[in-house]
Amino acid sequence: MQYYSLHKTAPVVDFKTATIQGQAPDKGLYFPAQIPQHSFIDTINKMNDADICFRAIAPFVGDCITEEQLYKIVTETISFPIPLQPIHEKISSLELFHGPTLAFKDIGARFMSRCLAEFCKNEKKKITVLVATSGDTGGAVASGFYKVPNVEVIILYPSGKVSPVQEKQLTTLGYNIHALEVLGSFDDCQQMVKLAFADKDLQENYFLTSANSINIARWLPQQFYYFLSYKQLQDKSEAPIFSVPSGNFGNICAGIMAYATGLPVQHFIAACNINDVVSNYLAGNPYQIKQATPTLSNAMDVGNPSNFNRILEIFKQEMSSLKRIFSSATVTDNEIIATIKGVYQKHGYLLDPHTAVGYHALEKFITNHTSKNNIVLATAHPVKFPEAIQIATGEKTPIPNHLSLLMEAEKKSILLEANYAKFKEWLSNRN
């Protein structure tokens, strides 16, 4: 498989190069030159999960990784359950939070770290992974890359804007994982990472790559969720509706890619918090990048969702085709709290604030639908957000054992101003 840059001025590359580069030299996102058409979907019920995921991803990887090695990577990536859990008769929750950092980003991070480890087996230069996080990416990447030989990870996160659990997940590992606590917003962090990739001095001295959701090796394996949930549908006579809590739009873009390869889907809802750039655009306004506003669903506080352009590309930049299958919704913090509370009281099911955004949007969307297969992607475990849960339910969430150990571990971060020159200086002064 070849990948081209959405800015169309960089050379076409293979999966390996696109993964290592992260972003194309012309700063565009990489996009596959063909969209494969899968033939396994009719027999999905008879296949095991690893076979499904292997068949889903193999054409995107091409011959950059041997089949045997890719199968091993896929198996390790999905080594925890991804159950489709009914909340009530109309809505099911696809629980993507049973991985090591209790959020869906584990899947992409585990897949990518294993691909990179494979690619740099014979490299002499160390690979430096740069990643900006609004919360969950950092932890998933830190865990995915922890102690992977030849790879160093530098995580930039906005000081005071990630939850205590999230912060511990990215600041306590040590070894090859370094956490930079930036006095600014997520968008500042992302901007600093983007500038580093465009910086010729740095490119000469470092083998830099990004682990943000723009990286194809994180973006594409997220298709697994959609295939695995489809397999679990009891009644496949009607294609499912997916509501996806969205920030940078990587997850939903992977779902739409799965659809483009042949997975039956009736509709996608991009469920957003009040950071509503895409909703405004779909409503016919110009695409206007905004400063991100902090919300209870902090991993979705994104003012410039990078992957939206990829979604448009799947539909050959035709808004009308996109709108046939895709809509977006905006959910406020008050609605998040009310949703967590209502669902807990009525159904005894605890939603985290991100999943609550998805649930609320889905419930609203199906009010006038008779659809049976309505799925919300549960992107994080509620124990990661105890404050919001307590406000909503009045109850304290019991903290699982491994989390309390984590909370006791010592935070190690490097404070940094939101200033690219300072970041570059820090990076350059390292050996």
Ligand X SMILES: *Cc1c(COP(=O)(O)O)cnc(C)c1O
Measured from the CB atom, the residue of 64 and 380 that comes closer to ligand X is 380
Cβ 408 to ligand X shortest distance, Å:
23
User: What string of DSSP letters covers 174-222?
Assistant: -TTEEEEEEES-HHHHHHHHHHHHT-HHHHHH-EEEE-STTSHHHHGGG
Report the C-alpha gap between 193 and 358 in whole angstroms: 29
Per the CB < 8 A criterion, the answer to whether 244 and 358 are in contact is yes
CB 230 within 8 A of CB 264: yes
Q: Toward ligand X, which CB reaches closer, 299 or 418?
A: 299
Nearer residue to ligand X within complex by CB, 233 or 252: 252
In the complex with ligand X, which residue's Cβ is closer, 16 or 354?
A: 354
Minimum distance from CB of 212 to ligand X (Å)?
9
Closest distance between ligand X and the C-beta of residue 217, in Å? Answer: 14
Q: What is the dihedral of CA 129, 131, 135, 141, to 10 degrees?
A: -20
| Least distance in angstroms from the C-beta of 210 to ligand X | 14
> Closest CB to ligand X among 208 and 311?
311
DSSP string, 267-303: EEEEEE-S--HHHHHHTT------PPPP-SSGGG--S
Distance between CA atoms of 308 and 180, rounded to whole angstroms? 27
Applying CB under 6 A, the residues found at the interface with ligand X are 103, 105, 135-136, 213, 245-251, 299-300, 354, 379-380
Instruction: Report the nearest approach of ligand X to the CB of residue 299 (Å).
Output: 3
As measured in angstroms, the least distance from the Cβ of 85 to ligand X is 16
DSSP 360-401: HHHHHHGGG---S-EEEEE-B-GGG-HHHHHHHHSSPPPPPH
| Residue found by looking up tokens 């511990």 in the block | 168
Q: Is 277 left (phi over 0), alpha (psi -120 to 50) or beta?
A: alpha
Whose Cβ is closer to ligand X: residue 97's or residue 365's? Answer: 97
Q: Min. distance of Cβ 326 from ligand X in angstroms?
A: 13
Q: Give whichever of 19 and 295 is closer to ligand X, judged by the CB atom.
A: 295
CB nearest ligand X: which residue?
136
Q: What burial class does residue 393 get, using C-beta atoms within 10 Å of its C-beta: 0-12 exposed, 13-18 middle, 19+ buried?
A: middle
